[in-house]
Each structure stands twice: as C-alpha cells, then as structure tokens.
Amino acid sequence: MSKLPKPVTAAAADLSSWLRDGDRVLVGQGTGEPATLTRLLGEAARERSDLTAIIGATLGELPGAANGLRFESYGAMGTATRLPEASLTVVPLHYAQFVARIGDGRMPCDVVLIQLSTPDERGHAYLGMGDLHLIDAARRARVVIAEINPHTPRTPGTLWPSDVPVHLAVDAQAAPLAPTASEASKADRDIAGHVASLVPDRAVIQLGIGRLPNTIAEALRDHRDLGLHSGVLTDGGAALIRAGALTNAAKEIDAGVSVAGVIIGGPVLLDHVRQDPAIEIRPTAHTHSTAAIARLSRFVAINSAIEVDLTGQINAESAAGRRTGGTGGQVDVTRGAQCSPGGRAVVALPSTARRGSISRIVPRASSVTVARADADTIVTEWGVAELAGHPVDERARRMIEIAEPRFREELSRYWHDEGRHRHG
C-alpha cells in the first residue's frame, strides 16, 4: 500500500527539481485548486522552460505568465479571464470530452498537482472536492504532487487510490479557495422567481456556479423532494438540502443521494459536506452522461449565458470579442434534459450588461455555444421564452418580449428588416 510522504513546507518544496522542460502540468480546479502549489508552479517557470498548466474553473491567482508559463483549458473560466490572451489556449471541447481526453491520455499530462485531505486513522487521504479525472491522469503521470489541506473534506467517492503514488506532499498555506460572494440584485431575484416557477416538485436539478445560480437555489426552498445530479455542488445546493427541499427521494437512479462531479463553495459548504453522508462524487462520465440523465424524470438543467440571439443561439464563451467563459458541460446537460421525461433546459441571464447599456438579447450571437436546435427555455427578469418546437419567427417574437424594453424596438426592426430573411 502506497502511503503519503511526509509533507514539507512550501518554503522547502522545490517544484523545479521535479519538473522538466516542456512538461504539461494538470492542476485541480475550483475549491480543489491547490493554491500553494499553483504559486510554486509559477515560480518554477523561472527555472524550467516551455511549461503548460492545464486548468479549469479557477478561483485563485494564476502566477507565472510573466515567467513564460502557458495555460490551457476548455474555456476562460473564473480567474483565468485575467490571463493575457497570448498565455491562454482554449481547446474547443465539451467539458466531458476534455476530461475524457485527459483521462485516457489523448491530452497527456506529465505532472499532476492535487489537493488532498489529511489522512484518516487508516492513513487514507481523499481528493475531497471531486474532479475524479485527476486520479486517471495521475495513473499516467510521471510525477504527482499533493497539497495537504486539513480543511479538505473526506467526501464519499473521492478516496485517493492506494496504488497511485504521491511523490511529494506540501503543507497548504491557507484554507481551500472559495468563490467571491456578492449580493443578489433585483434582476437576479426576478429571474430566480421565473426559473423556480418552471421547476416542479420532485424535479432533479443541475445548477452552475455563481451569484445567480445561488439566488435560484434560494427561490427553490419551498419546493419538495428535489434531487441533485450536477457537475457541481455549490453553497446554494447545500442550502437546499439543509432546508429540506432537496431530498433526492424521487430519483430513479442514485435515489437518496446528491450526485456531483466537483464541490465548489465556501467554509459552510465544506462543513456541510463533512456531515452529510448522502453526498457522493461521481465521474464526469456519469454526471454529464445523456444516458444517465435520460433515466431521471423531470431533469431541469439550469445554466446561464453571455448572450442569446433572437433564434435561440446561445453564447457562453465570449463578450465583445473577449474570451470570458467556455463551452463547459452546458451542451451535455442540455441534451440530457431534452431526453428526460418531463425535462427542461433553462438558460437564465439578465437582459442587459454594462449597467444596462447593452442588451444581452441580441440580433445574432457573436459566438455559438448551444445551437438553436438545442435551445429550450430562456429566462430574463422580464419573463420566460419557450423556444423548443417553435419556428424562428415565433422564437424572435418571444425573445423580444423578454428583452429590456428599451431595446425591443431595435430588435423588432432588425428582425423585420433583415433577421427573418437571414435565419428563416
């Protein structure tokens, strides 16, 4: 049985001695991001050339670009939006495909940086926050380096395998990273109310990360016997469990269990995870599987977007020519929801951006993440637009109705003069 090496301090850890020029380094994401190791990797880029960090939805600082460290991801997610454009390569893949290629070696990883719990009384450590593809990648990697964090929960499904060696362990310098909390706006609360009206009791939900998804979760507190089958468990999802609204009692598979691929949230969420044995981490091949989702009745995928055009094309990747998102798992869960009996795929977004100066309901999407053939239900603070099954002319009418009123005439004029001829 492989045991963890004795952890060393960050000051004593020389990552450059473990790295080689040209290494591709996979880094855990979200609350599972090993922030101490990420900082050390940035420093090691001074000593080793041509390093690439493979990242996901990041919460912490990403040092090293000035030292030549390059980054690769499935999108510009979280703090990765702050990276210089030239430092970040975006691979246009759905999240499940991105993870699968890491797991089977088609996207090779020479070094894997992870965050683990402190060992239990049997010497077992846990990945804690999920991202089980890190284990698959570690089996193929030359070097595995673990940040040991006493705040990391020993979550069911995340036991680090005894046959996968950890070559270096480093003490964490701080608690796990958490998303920045901000107060919900009136638009957020109005959107959340509309979304909650679309979710029946006993539905199985998928929620994303951020202020709006957490506000939607708050609006679902009076629902009964909801279930969770999601790529991520957030503070909002855990709050629904504590409120008694999310019991997983009606799920056809994984009954009684909240299923997620990764945990992203603050200390309250981590405390909840430690005390709730009915939370399980599953591989992305399960959380994002169309076949698995199709076995769940009333599956409601709830996601957001940067903009949606009048025909239902959804852009979750860029704004004003700048990368500020990614494909993620949105297409996977959208198609799964449409295969679920009574399922629905909801995209919720404020009707405007930049303090109301621009409309997020647009004539034509500047980038297409979800094709109009996959579009289902769009929600803004102004209402709900049901698009699935309707021709483009009717879609345009419905989308204009949920746009900010100041922009409706302009959108109507575009559609009348040009849009219907281009898209019809």
Q: How far is CA 178 from CA 33, 95, 118, 157, 257, in A?
A: 10, 21, 19, 21, 24
Q: Are residues 47 and 151 in the same domain?
A: yes
pLDDT of residue 211: 94
pLDDT of residue 360: 98
Cα separation of 209 and 192, whole Å?
14
Evaluate whether 333 touches 301 at the Cβ level (below 8 Å): yes
Residue 179 in any domain: the answer is: no
Q: Average pLDDT in the 265-275 region? A: 96
pLDDT reading at 163 higher than 80: yes
Q: Which residues contact 417 (CB under 8 A, 6 or more apart)?
A: none
Q: Are residues 285 and 373 in the same domain?
A: yes
pLDDT of residue 2: 62
pLDDT reading at 59 higher than 60: yes
Evaluate whether 160 touches 135 at the Cβ level (below 8 Å): yes
Q: Average pLDDT in the 50-74 region? A: 96
pLDDT band at 344 (very low <50, low <70, confident <90, very high): very high
Evaluate whether 233 touches 157 at the Cβ level (below 8 Å): no
SS (H, E, C) 4-39: CCCCECCCCCCHHHCCCCCCEEEECCHHHCCHHHHH
Domain boundary among 105, 138, 171: 171
pLDDT reading at 424 higher than 70: no
Q: Average pLDDT in the 147-164 region? A: 96
pLDDT reading at 378 higher than 60: yes
Number of structural domains in the chain = 2
| Chain mean pLDDT for the chain | 95
Strand order across the beta sheet in which 307-309 lies: 314-315, 307-309, 361-362
Q: Are residues 253 and 227 in the same domain?
A: yes
Q: Are residues 233 and 206 in the same domain?
A: yes
Residue 8 in any domain: the answer is: no
Q: Are residues 212 and 352 in the same domain?
A: yes
Domain of residue 197: give its range: 186-423
Q: Give the pLDDT confidence of 224-258 residue by residue, as tens digits.
A: 999 999 999 999 999 999 999 999 999 999 999 99
Share of the chain above pLDDT 90, in %: 94
pLDDT reading at 1 higher than 80: no
Cα separation of 291 and 339, whole Å?
8
